[in-house]
Structure 1
Amino acid sequence: MDRSRGEPPLTDDDFETYRQIATGQSPPDGHDVSRLLALRLIDRDPYAPSGYIPGDPRMAVQSLTGGLLGDLEAIVARVSQIPALERLAEHFDPQRLYGGPGSEYLATTAQMNARLGEISAAAHSDFCAVQPGEPADRDPAILRLGVERTRAALQRGVQVRSIYHRSAHEHDQTRDYIHAMIADGAEVRASTLPGPRLVIIDRQHAFVDNHVIKGEGNSGWHLFDRAAVAWARSIFEIFWDHATRWQDIGPATCDPLSER
């Protein structure tokens, strides 16, 4: 390997020393010329033990560039092995009895939404969600962001399935949002059963409400333990099987309760 690639950069004194040698002078007494020698900017004069012969800087540039390109090719070749090595986990993980440490506490709604956005943006197979609460008016900008995220996932080939509370069918804003999702290819069902708020992505990530720390109602957990996520997925499938397809829900048949 060319030792010049490990040398520190040239100093002002090095430039001045090269200038003096190139003009036929001797280098300053005591100045270290090792960097100039390593870059082949100078060579020792075989006819003058203390003298030096200047080299063409353009040749030094060509030599250094060629060496660096070789290093880059080696780095690229090694980096290209990373995806293949990561795929080997598919053979390692099934043999383990546990998935390793697998949860992170997210203390605020903003943190939950940010992490959800990050993981859902990288989803590649499926996205499952349970929204058990009765609908409420939401910021239109947030709704638009949700539609855009869902559409982007569907365009990548992600299967999107969501379960909403039955009352969402009578809530104009939520109904319009769901119709937009369905038009883009999502599957939506509705249920009157009480259930947990839940999001599962790619069978690898689950997001649940906080049931650990009391008094932190806006917080939640990001689960990525294999067993925990698989259990959450089984819960989603139970609710999915007992929910009604959104397109099969008709308008409400009973009038609202009177004061009496």
Structure 2
Amino acid sequence: MSLRDLGFDAVQEGVYRSLLADPLRDNSTLASLTLTDESAVRNALAGLLALGVVEVAATAPCGYAPGDPEVVVGELIERLEQETLRRQQKIGGTRTELAGLAAGFRHDARTVEVEHITEPERIRERLAELCFFTRSSVYAVQPARASSEAARAEASRLDNRSLGRGVTMRIIYDERVLRAERTRARLGERTASGAQIRFLPGPLARLILLDERIAIVPSDPTDAGSGALVVHQPGIVSELVARFRQLWDGAQDFAEPAGTPSDDDRSVLRMLASGLTDELVARQIGVSVRHLRRRIARLMDELGADSRFQAGMAAARRGWI
């Protein structure tokens, strides 16, 4: 671990590590070891005092004594984690304001109940804009028709970003996509991240629903080059949501291979077993607490456990942790 990740500069880290190795070193020795001068050492010691990892000690040759690193560095990490959480909450709270700003910026779009976009790049850009402000759900129907590598990469990026915020994601695929081993592996990764996936016999028409308020559909399902329609009209969107629910209820669940947890699942189980809180685990793997708790519930179900303690024991027996 580099202490610079915790706010130390290079000289502070060198001085601190040197003091931990020998608390009786004076400023001259510390300057020699860190390839600096005594003025830089004094400044570094003052910075370490501000970080809370050393304390004034009149009997120490350099005037400062390092605290127990397990305690003082641990406390520093905890303070930084709390500050990071406050910043995340503050940043998250701006989403409502951003939505208002975007609505004002796109004043013309509010009066347009259906947007017709023809350029593929612009379709991806518009979808990214809309997904950024999605708060609760993404529903999609994906046909078997092959898409470009760029489109797949962008879809994966948007899905991961939404799942990381705790957005509910349900996707219905044409069952023919299961013929490709690569696709099955990709879908397995997506379900491990929290997406719910089902299958129906094709052919299927592409559909995306965001927060049950906006729909994206092909302009002409028989012509891939015809572009997309972004539908805001509540009546049409409501009908499309109802249609999606009918399809979802009749679709087949995606069966993942048993006993093959993802790396993230293993990390979650290990961190929970070590006693970390949900909030800390969620920050470690970069997801929301709501998303993490859904993942934990899924893991408990896979392990046949009624409690987290039982899940930990079952995971250990299977060699998952």
What is the TM-score when the length of structure 2 is the normalising length?
A: 0.43
Is 1:166 matched up with 2:175?
A: yes
Distance 1:221 1:199 in 2: 11
Letter in 1 for 2:158: R
Query: Once the 2 structures are TM-superposed, how far is the Cα of residue 216 of structure 1 from its aligned partner?
Result: 7.3
Name 1:202's counterpart in structure 2: 211
Tell me the secondary structure at the aligned position of residue 217 of structure 1: helix
Name 2:133's counterpart in structure 1: 122
Distance 1:216 1:171 in 2: 22
Name 1:131's counterpart in structure 2: 142
Number of residue pairs the alignment of both structures matches: 153
Larger of the two Rg values belongs to structure: 1
Query: Once the 2 structures are TM-superposed, how far is the Cα of residue 149 of structure 1 from its aligned partner?
Result: 1.8
Tell me which of 214, 219, 236 is aligned to 1:228: 236
Tell me the secondary structure at the aligned position of residue 124 of structure 2: helix
Name 1:178's counterpart in structure 2: 187
Distance 2:148 2:223 in 1: 24
Tell me the secondary structure at the aligned position of residue 116 of structure 2: strand
Tell me the secondary structure at the aligned position of residue 197 of structure 2: strand
Distance 2:216 2:147 in 1: 22
Letter in 2 for 1:120: C
Distance 2:147 2:138 in 1: 23
What is the 5 A alignment of 1:54-203?
A: 101-134=112-145, 136=146, 138-139=148-149, 142-203=151-212
Distance 2:147 2:115 in 1: 29
Tell me the secondary structure at the aligned position of residue 247 of structure 1: coil
Query: Once the 2 structures are TM-superposed, how far is the Cα of residue 203 of structure 1 from its aligned partner?
Result: 1.0
* Gap regions ≥5 residues in structure 1: 1-79, 87-98, 250-260
Letter in 1 for 2:252: T
Distance 2:147 2:113 in 1: 34
8 Å CA contact 1:189–1:240 kept in 2: the answer is: yes
Query: Once the 2 structures are TM-superposed, how far is the Cα of residue 124 of structure 1 from its aligned partner?
Result: 0.4
8 Å CA contact 2:144–2:202 kept in 1: the answer is: no
- Which runs of at least 4 in structure 1 moved beyond 4 Å after TM superposition? none
8 Å CA contact 1:132–1:197 kept in 2: the answer is: yes
Tell me which of 247, 251, 254 is aligned to 1:243: 251
Tell me the secondary structure at the aligned position of residue 195 of structure 1: coil
8 Å CA contact 1:131–1:163 kept in 2: the answer is: yes
Of structures 1 and 2, the one with the larger relative CO (CA 8 A, separation 6+) is 1
8 Å CA contact 2:199–2:252 kept in 1: the answer is: yes
Cα RMSD for the two superposed structures: 3.0
Distance 2:189 2:175 in 1: 17
Query: Once the 2 structures are TM-superposed, how far is the Cα of residue 221 of structure 1 from its aligned partner?
Result: 0.4
Question: For the structure 1 residues 199 and 236, does the alpha-carbon distance in structure 2 shift closer, same or farther, using more than 3 Å as the test?
Answer: same
Letter in 1 for 2:167: V
Distance 2:217 2:151 in 1: 20
Distance 1:242 1:207 in 2: 22
Query: Once the 2 structures are TM-superposed, how far is the Cα of residue 133 of structure 1 from its aligned partner?
Result: 2.5
8 Å CA contact 2:208–2:217 kept in 1: the answer is: yes
* Gap regions ≥5 residues in structure 2: 1-93, 101-109, 258-321
Post-superposition Cα deviations, 1:102-160, rounded to whole Å, max 9, x if no partner, equal 111101222221111111122100000001234x3742x54343323212211211000
Distance 1:132 1:230 in 2: 21
Post-superposition Cα deviations, 1:53-111, rounded to whole Å, max 9, x if no partner, equal xxxxxxxxxxxxxxxxxxxxxxxxxxx9x96xx8xxxxxxxxxxxx9741111012222
Letter in 1 for 2:206: R
8 Å CA contact 2:124–2:151 kept in 1: the answer is: no
Which one has the bigger helix percentage?
Answer: 2
Tell me the secondary structure at the aligned position of residue 110 of structure 1: helix
Distance 1:244 1:126 in 2: 20
Letter in 2 for 1:133: A
